């Protein structure tokens, strides 16, 4: 039957009324808080071990509300990227496997421009590949993190074949958020290769960064919430539970629930090419990243506010930080708002429907040669052959 659009029309109206517009008089207190915040005070408040709060605030590396223009990229440089896609294990098949396809893209700019594009698919079917520690099946969530480790390993290997200066780029986040809810054995299974790749990139001197388009994070806004909190008085630890119990309106609600991209677009008013200050993430999984703690900044590409994540060793190196900033902005100009090297890496990595079906047929044919008939469940058959 047709979808009932009329039923949700009024709810859509309510939803859109709550979307911030970024007008000049909107969020006056947020603007004042951002302009007046003291980075040292924010760090002191956030790192107070006595605090009890439910936020995950960004920790300023040095400043809080600065704006820095993009430096020009070098005359000759390379930019590298990898991306990946996968085919999940099919529980309806007697042959258990999954497939990961990782692309590799190298663009060189300067006196002798060049480009190299490729992808490599790998079928994994051995027991230690299908189950972590022999007992935890590789599902979609785990496979997504495994793919991230494979992408970074391929990026590190690619960096070893090109001359510097070069910047290695990834699409998405360097923070494996979902890994924090996994067992230690799963964390080790993913992080061993992931951190080894970061080790290789650092030792080679090739800065790595990830690019997040239209980011939804609010780490910096959460830091502002703690910065303006006036309950309890200064010098005492923050206790959100007590505040909510004793105050009708919590102190932090003077900061509206906007994402960081809104903050830097309409409050900081970053101009094209400018980046924000650098902040460290407070994600718990980063406690396992060793010296590769992840920092980030926001950059105005001219089309959007994007989030760029970098390891600590890039954040602490002015030369590498400038190189990442300049190259990312340059890539966005070449790609009409989104890094061109990431666009190409995505195209190379995609496994289309025809390719997926071809792999299914190859598996079915291989089973048939062994006398094994591929029998699918009634549910799976009904999905493949709609008859009503």
pLDDT at 384: 57
pLDDT given at position 82: 98
Q: Is residue 68 part of a domain?
A: no
pLDDT at 382: 56
- The residue-averaged pLDDT of 42-58 equals 85
pLDDT score at 301: 97
pLDDT at 309: 98
Tell me: pLDDT of 241 over 90.
Answer: no
Domain of 103, in residue numbers? 77-211+315-354
Rounded mean pLDDT of 241-249? 80
Lowest pLDDT segment from 92-106, 184-198, 285-299: 92-106
What is the pLDDT, as a whole number, of residue 253? 80
In a domain, 252, yes or no: no
Judge whether residue 381 has pLDDT over 90. no
pLDDT confidence of residue 5: 75
Position 23 scores a pLDDT of 56
Average pLDDT (78-100) is 89
Residue 55, in any domain of the structure? no
The structural domain count of the chain equals 1
The answer to whether the beta carbons of residues 139 and 91 sit under 8 Å apart is: no
More confident residue, 387 or 297: 297
On whether residue 328 sits in a domain, the answer given is yes
pLDDT at 234: 67
Q: Is residue 114 part of a domain?
A: yes
Q: Is 127 a member of any domain?
A: yes
């Amino acid at each position: 039957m047709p979808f009932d659009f009329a039923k949700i029309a009024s709810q859509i109206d309510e939803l859109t009324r709550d979307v911030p517009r970024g007008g000049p008089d909107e969020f006056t207190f947020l603007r004042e808080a951002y302009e007046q915040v003291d980075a040292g005070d924010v760090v002191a408040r956030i790192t107070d071990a006595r605090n009890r709060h439910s936020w995950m605030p960004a920790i300023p590396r040095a400043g809080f509300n600065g704006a820095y223009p993009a430096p020009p990229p070098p005359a000759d440089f390379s930019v590298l990227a990898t991306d990946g896609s996968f085919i999940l294990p099919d529980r309806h098949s007697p042959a258990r496997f999954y497939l990961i396809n990782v692309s590799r893209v190298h663009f060189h700019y300067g006196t002798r421009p060049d480009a190299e594009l490729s992808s490599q698919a790998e079928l994994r079917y051995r027991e230690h590949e299908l189950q972590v520690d022999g007992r935890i099946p590789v599902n979609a969530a785990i496979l997504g993190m495994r793919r991230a480790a494979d992408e970074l390993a391929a990026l590190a290997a690619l960096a070893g074949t090109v001359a510097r200066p070069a910047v290695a780029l990834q699409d998405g986040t360097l923070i494996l958020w979902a890994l924090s809810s996994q067992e230690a054995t799963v964390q080790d299974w993913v992080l061993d290769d992931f951190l080894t790749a970061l080790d290789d990139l650092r030792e080679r001197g090739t800065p790595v960064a990830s690019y997040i388009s239209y980011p939804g994070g609010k780490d910096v806004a959460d830091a502002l919430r703690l910065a303006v909190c006036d309950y309890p008085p200064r010098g005492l630890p923050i206790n959100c539970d007590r505040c909510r119990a004793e105050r009708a309106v919590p102190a932090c609600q003077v900061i509206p629930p906007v994402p960081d991209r809104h903050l830097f677009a309409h409050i900081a008013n970053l101009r094209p090419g400018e980046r924000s200050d650098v902040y460290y993430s407070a994600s718990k999984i980063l406690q396992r990243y060793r010296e590769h703690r992840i920092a980030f900044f926001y950059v105005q590409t001219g089309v959007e506010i994007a989030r760029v994540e970098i390891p600590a060793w890039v954040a602490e190196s002015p030369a590498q930080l400038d190189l990442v900033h300049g190259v990312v902005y340059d890539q966005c100009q070449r790609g009409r708002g989104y890094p061109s090297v990431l666009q190409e890496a995505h195209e190379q990595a995609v496994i289309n429907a025809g390719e997926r079906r071809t792999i299914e047929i190859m598996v079915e044919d291989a089973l048939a040669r062994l006398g094994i008939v591929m029998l699918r469940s009634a549910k799976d058959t009904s999905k493949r052959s709609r008859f009503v």
